[in-house]
Amino acid sequence: MNKRAVKTVLSLFWFLLLFIVAFAVVYIVSIFYGSPYDVRQIEAHTMSDQIADCVASQGYINSSVFTQDFRNNFLADCHLNFNTEDIYDWKNSTQYYTEVKIYMYDPNSFNLLGQQVFNVSEGNINLKLAWQLSLVPKAPSQGSSLASSITSIFSPSRKVNTIVIHTTEGSTAAGAIETISNRALSVHYMIDRNGDIYSSENPPAQFADAFVPEKTVASHAGCGEGSSQLPYCTLSSGCIDSSPVSSNGILDTKCQQLTGSIPKSQWCCIPGFNTNSIGIELVNLGEQCTNINGGFCANAVSLGGYKWENFSNSPDQMNSLVNLVANIALRYNIPVDRSHIIGHYQITTYKTDPGPDFPWDKFLSAVKVREAEMTQQTGVIAADTHLPQGVLRSFYALDNNGEKYIVQVLTIVRKTEKNVA
Amino acid sequence: MLHNKKAQIPETLTWVPAALIIVLILAVTIIATIVLFRTSSFSRDSRTINVHYSSDLFAEKSLASYFLTTDNGETVYSELNSAGDFNNFNGNLAKNIFTLLYHSEYPGGVYLGFYNPNSLLTIENNQYFGSAPSLGAQSGLTGTVYIRQDINELIYLDKNKFLHLILAGGFL
């Protein structure tokens, strides 16, 4: 081989080496940046800190916070701008939501929250609901991987096929949670009047045992134990006529209208509903309105000498219930009908919740629509990373008169390719 | 050879196009990288970053307001400073604030108590928070060290005593 040929071969070798290096650079970059880092949680934390600093400093809530001017210029006053990034049409569909609520300090409340005295929010309100759903646990893994097999040995998954809706028969979530805990009962979810969803993900300190995760059987729809155990319903027992149990194994819906007048000697219960159901409590006075006038019972629904709280009092609660039930039904493949989404009264004859005012037809229609929307929004259920990341934090603060408050700051960041309307 | 101008011509003719080609390849590489990976949307494969916070602004704000809370005209800070211990009012207030507001974020334990650098038992137990949770790292079975998200703040009371806030988090 002559000298020129050697040079040519060497040149080719060096260029080949250069291409290999270039390919390696692309490959390494792809490893690091091919799947981007999700820093939304950190961003939400940073935003929370910014807002907390804006609301209170040196131990006191800034005096301007309670003014209308602060409400109107909340973002500007806190030096926040939601429109700095303009890709994927984010400017037209805000990717942030933030909310500041100030409550009176109440040492008797499970979360110290007394009366709400201030509220301001900015951004895309739909993100709040999506974030709440992101706190809902995922359905048990159906995969056959070793990890899921090991997990299933230690926490056997159960087949969930029913959703039972209750009312707390009380005016506040705090009181209801305490009652559930004290009576050694448990539930999977509780929805407050303002739409907030409580679950085992964020249980209150003293009453952590009131909530259990979805994979665990809760004690919310049982027939009691020992001397207080109710007899099981048969075709000849129960409520309206000789066939109280409908063909699908639950009490006939007509029972509800008469349960209050059923003598205790005839009370009965259908066993086994705890095993395969998810229990959702709605903060609502329910039948307690029979003995209460005014307040939440002002527009109570009357039937057969009894009165129930009107669900029109809490539209945000109903909205959250629709979304939560649609989410659960979709994940567990539960049919959205009156055989699978039932009221507590359909299990135990002396129970009436959620009451005759509960708009079953309208509710189930809304759940079906929401379920369809969730299915279309590729990713809302299947790819959880499309759900927004949020931070809800609280701090104790004083005003200039020394009054005690709890300041609650919620910040949510979505910033995914797929937009929320 | 460097002194031979004729010899430099072929060398230059070799390396100028070579340099251009190298620049071209690098430019193509950079552009390809930008085009291929410019998406900033999060997907199922997105990775999260665990940030080890060494301070907690919300807890600090609560602590500042706690100190400024007045009890019979005296601030909690001066009460703690003069008595060197909790009383019924400020002990229960501290327990309410720090336990109820932060327990879920710090599963390792929440503690507020007194720290005496001159004492053998430097972190003292108290009736409101019990004993202080352990701080720091934990070794795994295979020798892996797990770092915990702990917040550890000392607040000066006097030369012999500090107030010690410990918020012990989960392991990263």
Please tell me the distance from the alpha carbon of residue A352 to that of residue A303, in angstroms, as a whole number. 11
Q: Are residues A339 and A268 in the same domain?
A: yes
Tell me what pLDDT residue B89 has.
Answer: 94
Nearest to A40 by CA among A127, A121, A136: A127
Pairing of strands A189-191, A197-199: antiparallel
Please tell me the distance from the alpha carbon of residue A84 to that of residue A38, in angstroms, as a whole number. 18
Tell me what pLDDT residue A159 has.
Answer: 82
Tell me the C-alpha to C-alpha distance, in Å, between residue A284 and each of A170, A288, A297, A308.
6, 9, 10, 9
Categorize the per-residue pLDDT at B47 as very low, low, confident or very high, splitting at 50, 70 and 90.
low
Q: Are A188 and A280 in contact (CB under 8 A)?
A: yes
Of the partner residues A59, A88, A204, the one whose CB lies closest to the CB of residue B67: A59
Least confident of A327-331, B42-46, B166-170: B42-46
Tell me what pLDDT residue A154 has.
Answer: 41
Reported as type and span, the H/E element at residue A390 is strand A389-398
Q: Are residues A172 and A120 in the same domain?
A: no
Quick check: A88 and B41 CB within 8 A? yes
Q: Are residues B120 and B74 in the same domain?
A: yes
Least confident of A79-93, A110-124, B123-137: A79-93
Tell me what pLDDT residue B74 has.
Answer: 93
Q: Are residues B42 and B61 in the same domain?
A: no
Q: Are residues A171 and A318 in the same domain?
A: yes
Show Cβ contacts of residue A235 under 8 Å, excluding neighbours closer than 6 positions: A242, A243, A244, A245
Nearest CA of chain B to the CA of A254: how many Å? 43
Of the partner residues B36, B66, B96, the one whose CB lies closest to the CB of residue A107: B96
Residue A332 included in any domain: yes
Quick check: B100 and A398 CB within 8 A? no
Tell me what pLDDT residue A49 has.
Answer: 95
Q: Are residues B117 and B141 in the same domain?
A: yes
Q: Are residues A170 and A102 in the same domain?
A: no
Q: Chain A contact for B101, CB < 8 A?
A: yes
Categorize the per-residue pLDDT at A238 as very low, low, confident or very high, splitting at 50, 70 and 90.
very low
Q: Are residues B39 and B112 in the same domain?
A: no
Please tell me the distance from the alpha carbon of residue A269 to that of residue A231, in angstroms, as a whole number. 6
Q: Are residues A180 and A201 in the same domain?
A: yes
Residue A292 included in any domain: yes
Q: Are residues A110 and A162 in the same domain?
A: no
Higher pLDDT, A103 or A332: A103
Nearest CA of chain B to the CA of A108: how many Å? 10
Please tell me the distance from the alpha carbon of residue A78 to that of residue A52, in angstroms, as a whole number. 9
Q: Are residues A57 and A172 in the same domain?
A: no
Residue A264 included in any domain: yes
Q: Convert the pLDDT of each residue in B4-42 to its tens digit.
A: 677 777 777 778 887 888 888 888 887 887 777 665 555
Q: Chain A contact for B10, CB < 8 A?
A: no
Tell me what pLDDT residue A327 has.
Answer: 84
Q: How many domains are there within chain A?
A: 2
Residue B158 included in any domain: yes
Tell me what pLDDT residue B38 has.
Answer: 63
Q: Are residues A343 and A408 in the same domain?
A: no
Which of B13, B26, B29 is the mutation pick for testing A, counting most A CBs within 10 A? B29
- Least CA distance to A414: which residue of chain B? B42
Does A109 score more than 80 pLDDT? no
Least confident of A206-210, A357-361, A395-399: A206-210
Does A191 score more than 70 pLDDT? yes
Quick check: A35 and B25 CB within 8 A? no
List chain B residues with CB under 8 Å of A15. 21
Of the partner residues A48, A112, A417, the one whose CB lies closest to the CB of residue B96: A112
| Mean pLDDT, residues B38-52 taken together | 62
Residue A252 included in any domain: yes
Q: Are residues B2 and B67 in the same domain?
A: no
CATH of the domain at A363: 3.40.80.10
- Least CA distance to B56: which residue of chain A? A49
Least confident of A33-47, A151-165, A398-412: A151-165
Which of B24, B34, B43 is the mutation pick for testing A, counting most A CBs within 10 A? B43
Least confident of A22-26, A146-150, A162-166, B71-75: A146-150
Q: Are residues A236 and A292 in the same domain?
A: yes
Q: Are residues B68 and B17 in the same domain?
A: no
Residue B112 included in any domain: yes
Q: Are residues A51 and A200 in the same domain?
A: no
Nearest CA of chain A to the CA of B46: how many Å? 5
Does A201 score more than 80 pLDDT? no
Of the partner residues B33, B49, B100, the one whose CB lies closest to the CB of residue A29: B33
| Mean pLDDT, residues A84-99 taken together | 75
Does A222 score more than 70 pLDDT? yes
| Mean pLDDT, residues A118-136 taken together | 78
Q: Which domain holds residue A258?
A: 157-376
Q: How many domains are there within chain B?
A: 2
Q: Are residues A210 and A293 in the same domain?
A: yes
Categorize the per-residue pLDDT at B147 as very low, low, confident or very high, splitting at 50, 70 and 90.
low
Least confident of A141-145, A250-254, A377-381, B56-60: A141-145
Give this complex's ipTM.
0.77
Nearest to A23 by CA among B18, B33, B34, B38: B33
Residue A155 C-beta-side C-alpha neighbours within 13 Å: 12
Q: Are residues B118 and B86 in the same domain?
A: yes
Output phi, psi for B23, to 5 deg: -60, -40
Q: Are residues A226 and A256 in the same domain?
A: yes
Does A364 score more than 50 pLDDT? yes
Does A142 score more than 50 pLDDT? no
Least confident of A239-253, A272-286, A324-338: A239-253
Does A86 score more than 90 pLDDT? no
Residue A421 included in any domain: no
Q: Are residues B37 and B93 in the same domain?
A: no
Nearest CA of chain A to the CA of B109: how many Å? 12
Pairing of strands A341-343, A162-167: parallel
Q: Chain A contact for B39, CB < 8 A?
A: yes
Structure tokens given for A28: 């390494």
Nearest to A330 by CA among A155, A93, A160: A160
For B17, the 3-state DSSP assignment is helix
Q: Which domain holds residue B21?
A: 1-47
Residue A107 C-beta-side C-alpha neighbours within 13 Å: 11
Higher pLDDT, A241 or B126: B126
Please, what is the angle between helix A3-33 and helix B5-37, to 10°? 20
Output phi, psi for B92, to 5 deg: -70, -35
Please tell me the distance from the alpha carbon of residue A37 to that of residue B41, in angstroms, as a whole number. 9
Q: Are residues B32 and B108 in the same domain?
A: no
Residue A289 included in any domain: yes
Highest mean pLDDT among A30-39, A377-386, B16-25, B83-92: B83-92
Tell me what pLDDT residue B148 has.
Answer: 63
Rounded to the nearest angstrom, the gap between the alpha carbon of residue A51 and the centroid of all alpha carbons in its chain is: 24
Residue B52 included in any domain: no
